[in-house]
Amino acid sequence: MKSIIFALILSLSTGFSTSAQQTMKSSITRKEYFPLPDSVTGWRTLTDNKKIKKVTGIDKAKLDQAFDFVRSTTSNGGLLVVRHGWLVYENYFGKGQREATPNLASCTKSFTSIAVGILMSERPDLFPDGLDQKVYTTSLMPPEAFPLPDPRMADIKLGQLLTFTAGIRGNNPVYVNRKTSTIDPVGPDGWYSMVDEYTLGLKDGIMGSVPFTTKTLWCEPGGGYSYASASIHNASIMLRHISGMELEDYIDSHLARPLGWGRWGFGYKDQPLVTHTPGAGGIALRSTDMLRFCYMLLHDGRWEQQQIVPKEYIQKATKTSPYNPHYRYSFQFHANSDGDIRELPLDAYWKGGSGRHFFCIIPSLDLIVWKLGGGDGQYSIEDTGLPEPLYKSEVTKPINDEQVHNENSDFIKIMTMVISSIADGKK
């Protein structure tokens, strides 16, 4: 760098253009960008359609079409798109707005996974076998987890706990070697899966009229995949035991502060049995701060000069995993690296939550998409403990297209529409 600066000074003093000038100019152009907190200047934005297309290759008119479709999928929400570090699209409807902090449901699972990745780097002495580490030991889990309700739990590896292949009961259908099956009884779901007594198998319960249990595994550890929210909540119990901190406090110190989030918190305040930070759902986050989380992931766990999360963990978490040969679910991210969804690039990964929230990251396109959703209750202070922001007198309304919407097909259509807006040939 010193030689470049010297050559540039020399060229300026002599009046001649040199290759060093071009190198310096290119270096400045390529300088990495990370957004400041919204309380300062926030994300850099572009509003002129021609500049948006020139700088990011995106046709904004096509994003407007995608937003109109988004408005038909939920009663509240929004669409935000970041490309090349530019926030090129941000539009909301219903209760959605920048200062809204709804319960983002299962999107939380990705945050819990990332927190575990950080914990592993902080306490390598407790994870000498890495993701092969057996989880249900007295050094990793609290005393109330013992004796184990099912002796086979002693063989559960961390990688299996994080990919939902630990044998812990969850939702139907379950998958074994990519083939569907069912289990009976199922495991806890929703807020039930965030109650320690239920997820550790200390108590059985009933969801409405559906009984559930985690006292027995439905298969041998590694033998199949079940979307088991209890599994990732148990990972948060492990984190709480090791760090001595609630998951919310751990995320605050390790993610929220370094990334510059505004107000945020955790939901399910209206469920008295949820007495600890829920590891399977409930994070309540502003949309532009969700983008910061995604931007950190896009940069392989780095924020400016700080490696927030080990790069190796991010790379393993966002691709199909050897810990889950049964389904395309990695460490709390859906991954497309096996090409199951042809409409998306192979490096796309994403996570959704009840209320039809989802984020998607595509590194090869340098693209982040956040689709905000949510029912009215997910925005309420009773759920999140965070007051709803004031609403404008004129609010964009959802669209009733009188169609039956499917979460998976809606996700693919939204992402296809966003990707088709990229007109610079780099698809």
The string of pLDDT tens digits covering residues 132-153 is: 999 999 999 999 999 999 999 9
Task: Please tell me the predicted confidence (pLDDT) of residue 397.
Answer: 95
Q: What is the pLDDT of residue 16?
A: 31
Determine the pLDDT at residue 402.
84
Reduced to 3 states (helix: H, G, I; strand: E, B; else coil), residue 258 is helix
Contacts of 174 (CB under 8 A, 6+ apart): 180, 181, 182, 183, 218, 219, 224, 225, 226
Under a CB-based contact definition with an 8 Å cutoff, are residues 173 and 182 in contact?
A: yes
Q: What is the pLDDT of residue 427?
A: 42
Q: pTM of the predicted model, to two decimals?
A: 0.92
How far apart CA 206 and CA 208 sit, in angstroms, is: 6
Region 262-278 average pLDDT: 98
pLDDT reading at 14 higher than 70:
no
- The model's pLDDT over 155-187, given as tens digits with 9 standing for 90+, comes to 999 999 999 999 999 999 999 999 999 999 999
For residues 193-211, give the mean pLDDT.
97
Is residue 17 over pLDDT 80? no
Residue 424: band (very low, low, confident or very high) from pLDDT cuts 50, 70, 90? low
Residue 420 has pLDDT above 60, yes or no: yes
Burial label, 5 (beta-carbon count in 10 A; 0-12, 13-18, 19+): exposed
User: What domains can you pick out in the chain, each with its CATH number?
Assistant: 105-420 (3.40.710.10)
- pLDDT, position 163: 98
- Measured torsion, CA atoms of residues 418, 82, 117, 200, in degrees rounded to the nearest 10: -60
**The pLDDT of residue 15:** 36
Does position 5 have pLDDT exceeding 70, yes or no?
no
| Residue 50, pLDDT score | 94
Averaged pLDDT score across all residues of the chain: 92
Residue pLDDT, tens place only, 287-344? 999 999 999 999 999 999 999 999 999 999 999 999 999 999 999 999 999 999 999 9
What the block records as the tokens of 400 is 């009733």
pLDDT at 13 over 50: no
Sign, Cα dihedral of 93, 95, 101, 107: negative
What's residue 31's pLDDT? 75
Express each pLDDT in 335-362 by its tens digit. 999 999 999 999 999 999 999 999 999 9
| pLDDT at residue 18 is higher than 90 | no
pLDDT surpassing 90 at residue 28 = no
Helices (H), 157-310: 158-163, 196-199, 229-243, 247-251, 257-259, 287-298
pLDDT of residue 393: 74
pLDDT at 120: 98
Looking at residue 244, what DSSP letter applies? S
SS3 222: coil
Residue 205: band (very low, low, confident or very high) from pLDDT cuts 50, 70, 90: very high
Q: Hunting for tokens 């983002």 — which residue is that?
A: 104
pLDDT band at 403, cuts 50/70/90?
Answer: confident
Confidence of residue 19 (pLDDT cuts 50, 70, 90): very low
**Is the per-residue pLDDT at 426 higher than 70?**
no
Q: What is the mean pLDDT of residues 202-214?
A: 97
Burial class (CB in 10 A: 0-12, 13-18, 19+), 3: exposed
pLDDT for the residue 391: 84
Which tens digits make up the pLDDT trace of 217-269?
999 999 999 999 999 999 999 999 999 999 999 999 999 999 999 999 999 99
Specify the range with the lowest mean pLDDT, choosing from 43-47, 339-343, 422-426. Answer: 422-426
Calpha distance 316→405 (Å, rounded): 32
Q: Is the peptide bond between 124 and the residue preceding it cis, with omega within 30 degrees of 0? A: no
Q: Which of 148, 112, 153, 116 is nearest to 135 (CA)?
A: 153
